[in-house]
Amino acid sequence: MIGVYDSGVGGLSVWRELYRIMPEQDYIYVADGAHCPYGTKPIEFIISRADAITRFFLSKGAEVVVIACNTATAAAVDYLRGKYSIPFVGMEPAIKPAALASKSGVVGVLATANTFKGSLYNNTLEKFASNVKVIEKVGTGLVECVESGNTEGEEVDALLHRYVDEMKSEKADAIVLGCTHYPFLEGAISRIAGEGVRIFNPAPAVALQTKRIIESLDSPKSSNSRYLFFSTGDTKIMRSIVSQIDPILSDCVFETVVID
């Protein structure tokens, strides 16, 4: 059983990559919808939510936890690894591949305020982005758009122009998606950024790292895979996104739960 969680539905962008390469695994997904978004909340609060959700996963038999949230990874992954013995996989900012791929030497990063403050992001920046110019933009309002099921249209475009236009004017040819909600806006981001700008989504790499860990555990595979989806808020948008990932998943378990 692999536990996957995010402040909301954004982590499903990671879940779909896990499902794509390991459909035979059991999964339990938690959207902490009652407390979404995490982007500007106190670090201590995010850690307390991570701890509570991890205990929930353990009660359900999870052997690996994927923190499918850049903000929660930055705030809580070290705490969780210090407290629990199971493996935790966090989000790694895709700074390195973006910096290596950039021909203009300018990279845009779209993330939350807490992600930009985190040591993980800043250590990655120092290590891999010393030779490029990095333009950081806090994507205020984008998480809320995705959480409401709004991934295209005038409201989304207006917000994205606010963040992407400056990157374009500075000749950025790579944009890093530093929040797991943002891949659901990738089509709109790519359209507004225009030709010649590559979008970097770390979710496939996170899924591959999780697969390596699962293989190292050598746990027996389920003969009848289970996909469970829980939210501390509403499950409507989550159900819709999961059904879009694979229509056969529409009959999975979707429940609202209290996790304290």
Residue type, 199: I
At position 72, the amino acid (one-letter code) is: A
111 and 19 both lie in a single domain: no
Do 109 and 184 lie in a common domain? yes
Query: Do 113 and 211 fall into the same domain?
Result: no
179 noted as active-site residue: yes
Coil, helix or strand at residue 42? coil
Domain count, the chain: 2
pLDDT digits (tens, 9 = 90+) for 142-195: 999 999 999 999 999 999 999 999 999 999 999 999 999 999 999 999 999 999
Q: 164 and 197 share a domain?
A: yes
Q: Are residues 145 and 173 in the same domain?
A: yes
Domain termination site, one of 180, 201, 222? 201
**Could you give the angle at the alpha carbon of 100 between the alpha carbons of 96 and 104, nearest 5°?**
125
pTM of the model: 0.95
Output the domain CATH number for residue 18. Answer: 3.40.50.1860
Same domain, 185 and 99: yes
% of the chain with per-residue pLDDT over 70: 98
pLDDT of 75 > 80? The answer is yes
Q: How many CB atoms lie within 10 A of CB 142?
A: 29
What's the pLDDT score for residue 222? 62
Name the residue range of residue 6's domain.
2-91+204-256
- pLDDT number for residue 224: 73
Could you tell me which of 64, 107, 113 has the C-alpha nearest to residue 89? 64
Q: Which of 36, 145, 179, 252 is catalytic?
A: 179
223 band by pLDDT with thresholds 50, 70 and 90: low
Q: Convert the pLDDT of each residue in 176-185 to its tens digit.
A: 999 999 999 9
What would the mean pLDDT of 237-250 be, rounded to a whole number?
Answer: 95
Residue 99, burial from CB neighbour count under 10 angstroms (0-12, 13-18, 19+): buried
Q: Is residue 27 very low, low, confident or very high in pLDDT (cuts 50, 70, 90)?
A: very high
Q: Are residues 63 and 27 in the same domain?
A: yes
Among 183, 201, 219, the domain boundary falls at: 201
End position of a domain, from candidates 161, 179, 201: 201
Same structural domain, 147 and 180: yes
Active-site residue identified among 36, 69, 145, 252: 69
251: Cα separation from own chain's centroid: 24
My answer on whether 196 and 208 are in the same domain is no
- Based on the fold, state whether residues 84 and 35 are members of the same structural domain: yes
**Mean pLDDT value across the chain:** 95
Residues 73 and 106 in one domain: no
Task: Give the pLDDT score at 93.
Answer: 87
